[in-house]
Amino acid sequence: MAKTVVVKQIGSPIRRPAKQRETLIGLGLNKMHKTRELEDTPSVRGMVNSIPHLVQIVEERG
């Protein structure tokens, strides 16, 4: 089974640069306190690391 990470949106994209909003959408997040289980790949980690003030890794599985 592939490793996965559970990512939660903790910040609002209001008054943030468009690039940060697009990164949230790329992660599948669009509303506060939503969570997504994503495959643990370098691209997903890079997206999470680029907006640490908006998202949080809740759990790592696998």
Q: What is the pLDDT of residue 1?
A: 63
CATH superfamily of 2-59: Ribosomal protein L30/L7 (3.30.1390.20)
Q: What is the pLDDT of residue 17?
A: 98
Give me the half-sphere count of Cα atoms (radius 13 Å) on the Cβ side of residue 51: 26
Spell out, as residue ranges, where the chain has pLDDT lower than 70.
1
Measured between alpha carbons, how far is 36 from 48 in angstroms, rounded to an integer? 12
Q: What is the pLDDT of residue 27?
A: 98
Residue whose pair of structure tokens reads 């992660």 in the numeric block: 27
Q: What is the pLDDT of residue 62?
A: 87
Residue whose pair of structure tokens reads 């599985």 in the numeric block: 61
